[in-house]
Amino acid sequence: MSETVSPPPKRSRRGLIIFAVVLLVLVALVVVHLLTLKKPARENAAIVVTVAQATLGSMPVTLSELGTVIPIATVTVLPQLSGYLTEVGYHEGQEVQKGQFLAQIDPRQYQISKQQAEATLAKDRALLAQARADLERYTQLNERKSIAQQTYADQQFLVQQDEAAVKVDLANIAQFDLDLAYCRITAPIAGKVGLRLVDPGNYVTASSTTGIVVITTVKPTTVQFTVPQDSLASIVQRLSTGAKLPVTAYSSDNSREIATGTLYAVSNQMATATGTVTLRATFANDDEALFPNEFVNVKLLVDTMQNAVLVPSAAVQSGAPGDFVYLVNPDSTVSVHKVKLGPSDGRNTVIESGLAAGNQVVTDGTDRLNDGAKIEPAHPKSAAAASGAAAAGPKAPAAASEAAPASSAAASPAAAASEAASS
C-alpha cells in the first residue's frame, strides 16, 4: 500500500516571499540613507602668511649692462727709420711719462750723413758769396754799359741758383737732425708699457708692423657698454640738462664693486642689428682696478623716482592674470590684484598702478593661497622692514619659521592665480 506526499501549504510559502521582499526594501532604504547622508561641512583653517605694507619712497632707475674696459689711448711704438737697436731704457710693465726715453737706434750713419750735408752747405754758401760778389761788379759795369745785358742777367740767375742750393742743404741738415732724433725713441703718451717686443741687438726697419713696445693709458680709463634703444631717450634727456650720470662697475660675477665713474659720451649711431647704442663712461682708476679689455658689469643710474609706491619684491607674482599681488582685505581674506610694475632694486619694486600706499600685500606663503582664501597675518611690517628681514636671511626667525611650511605646499603662485582667474 503506497503513501501519497501532500504538497506544502500555500500560506507558508506566501509568508516567506513577503518576508524576503520586506527585508530587501529595508536594506535598500538603509543603503539610500547612507549614500545620501551629507557630512557636516568643516570650515577651512586660516593660512598663516607674512604681510607687508606698501609705502612711499624713492627708487633709483638703473640700467644693468655688460661692459668692456677700453683704454683712453693704446699706442704701438714703431721705429721711424732703420738701424740696429742698441739700448732699451724701460722695464716691462713700467709706468712711463710722455717724452721718456724708451730705446736707442744706432745713430752713427745718420751723423755721418749730417756731416756730409754740412760740408755741402759750406761749399754752396761759398759759391753763393762768390756769385753775389760777381753780381755787384756786373751791376756797376752794366750801369756804365760796359758789359752785355745778357751777362748781367745770367749772373742774377746764378745767384738765385746758389741761394736755392743753400736752402736745399739746410733742409738736408734738418732732415738728418730729425733722423737723429728718431734714433732716440721716446714715449709718445703717458701710460704703462707692456712686454718687450724687440730685444737690443736686433735690426729694426721703418716698415716694421710689430713695433718695439705697446703703451696703454690706464689712469684714467673708460668702460664701453650698450643700452637698448628704448632707454636712450631718458639718458639723452638727462644729459641735455647737464646732469652727470653715475656709472658703477662691478666684477664679472657681480660679487663686488670695482670702481665708480660718470657717463661722458654717447655714440652718434644706433646698431640696427641689435637695436642698441654704445655709451662710454670714464673712471679715474687710480688703483688700477680696471684692467684693459676686462669684462665688467655696469650699472648706470639714469634717474631717481620720488614718492613711488614700494612693495617687497617677494610680494610680486606672475601668472595667468599677468603681474599681480595678493591684496589683504579688511575681512582677513586675500584677493588677486593686478598691478603695473616699475623699476626694482632687487629688494623693493615700484608699483606704478594698482596699489596705494597703506595697502597690505602677502610677501610669504603665497604658494598656498588662492583668490578669497582666509589668512592670518603673522607679523605685519612695512616694505622697508620686510626687505630688511629678507636680506638678513637666517637672522630673521619669523621669516625662517614661515618659509618652512611654505616650501611644503604643492601649488605654485601661478597655479593659484590661474584658479582665481577661472573662478
Query: Residue 38 pLDDT more than 60?
Result: no
Query: Residue 308 pLDDT more than 80?
Result: yes
Cα(85)–Cα(107) distance, rounded to whole angstroms? 10
Asked if the structure places residue 13 within a domain, the reply is: no
Question: What is the pLDDT averaged over residues 225-250?
Answer: 91
Same structural domain, 259 and 382: no
Same structural domain, 202 and 83: yes
Query: C-alpha distances in angstroms, 318 versus 8, 135, 327, 328, 345?
Result: 83, 103, 14, 17, 18
DSSP string, 284-346: --TT--SPTT-EEEEEEEEEEEEEEEEEEGGG-EEETTEEEEEEEPTTSBEEEEE-EEEEE-S
Asked if the structure places residue 38 within a domain, the reply is: no
Question: Last residue of some domain: 305, 331, 353?
Answer: 305
Query: Residue 139 pLDDT more than 60?
Result: yes
End-to-end CA, the chain: 90
Asked if the structure places residue 85 within a domain, the reply is: yes
Helix axes 149-183 and 108-143, enclosed angle (nearest 10): 160
Whole-number percent of the chain with pLDDT over 70: 85
Same structural domain, 109 and 207: yes
Same structural domain, 93 and 183: yes
Same structural domain, 122 and 190: yes
The domain total for the chain is 3
Same structural domain, 80 and 187: yes
Same structural domain, 81 and 208: yes
Residue 178's SS3 state is: helix
Question: What is the pLDDT averaged over residues 288-316?
Answer: 91
Beta pairing class for 47-53 and 375-377: parallel
Query: How does residue 185 score in pLDDT terms, banded at 50, 70 and 90?
Result: very high
Q: Residue 349's closest CA among 308, 385, 377?
A: 308
Q: Residue 349's closest CA among 12, 32, 55?
A: 55
Question: Last residue of some domain: 188, 215, 242?
Answer: 215
Q: Residue 71's closest CA among 204, 181, 214, 195?
A: 214
Same structural domain, 300 and 283: yes
**In this structure, what CATH number is given to the domain that contains residue 92?**
2.40.50.100
Query: Residue 380 pLDDT more than 50?
Result: no
CB 293 within 8 A of CB 282: no
Is-above-0.85 flag for pTM? no
**In this structure, what CATH number is given to the domain that contains residue 377?**
2.40.420.20
Question: What is the pLDDT averaged over residues 181-189?
Answer: 94
Helix axes 397-407 and 383-392, enclosed angle (nearest 10): 80
Question: Last residue of some domain: 153, 183, 215?
Answer: 215
Domain residue limits at 337: 49-58+306-422
Same structural domain, 224 and 190: no
Asked if the structure places residue 26 within a domain, the reply is: no
Same structural domain, 322 and 411: yes
Same structural domain, 316 and 340: yes
Asked if the structure places residue 104 within a domain, the reply is: yes
Query: C-alpha distances in angstroms, 48 versus 45, 168, 335, 362?
Result: 9, 99, 15, 10
Same structural domain, 294 and 381: no
Whole-number percent of the chain with pLDDT over 90: 51
Query: Residue 419 pLDDT more than 80?
Result: no
**In this structure, what CATH number is given to the domain that contains residue 233?**
2.40.30.170
Query: How does residue 298 score in pLDDT terms, banded at 50, 70 and 90?
Result: very high
CB 81 within 8 A of CB 113: no
